[in-house]
Amino acid sequence: MSTVPNSISADQLFAMPDDGNRYELVHGELRMMSPAGGEHGWIASRLDRLLGVFVDENELGIVFAAETGFRISTDPDTVRAPDVAFVRQDRIESIGDLKKFVPLAPDLVAEVVSPNDSSSEVEAKAQMWINAGTRMVLVVDPATACIRVYRDTAKIEVFHEGDTVDASDVVDGWTLNVSDVFPKR
């Protein structure tokens, strides 16, 4: 006789007491996330600032920092927390209360690859965002100083230092110079 692991809901995850750890929920399964290293945080902060300033200046919507949970599927629930996310203004207005997990997939997600991430985990996460309705996923890889751009599950574009990612179809008018993302030491 097989046993089925206990599944929890997004509401149960949200109500959990703070134990100092970060969690995501994938198809009802609770997953603890390790703290990010310094390089990861530095790159995520740079990307958040580059996108956030542009979005704020042009009143395009909201940029969310890491640890913001997005409920991207239900029954069983999936709540993911990207390193950086953008949601268009018209979609934010339809949500109302933002006190709990954001109940939709962001328009744009950026995930910074950590040294302990496997390529299959990163690929699966990018595919999950696209399947949930995210229009663009930026996978930022410090080890190779490149950004992989997912717009659908069948095509991945790779951009290197000196290249420019054109995200203007998702974030009206925004382009990203890859060299601006990676810190110069």
Which sequence spans correspond to the domains of the chain? Answer: 36-181
CB-side neighbour CA atoms (13 Å) of 60: 22
CATH 3.90.1570.10 is right for the domain spanning 36-181: yes
Average pLDDT over residues 67-89: 96
Read off the pLDDT of residues 148-165 as tens digits, 9 standing for 90 and up: 999 998 889 999 999 999
pLDDT of 1 reads 39
Cα 67 to Cα 62: distance, rounded to the nearest angstrom: 15
pTM for this model (two decimals): 0.93
Read off the pLDDT of residues 14-30 as tens digits, 9 standing for 90 and up: 999 989 888 999 999 99
Find how far residue 2's CA is from the centre of its chain: 34
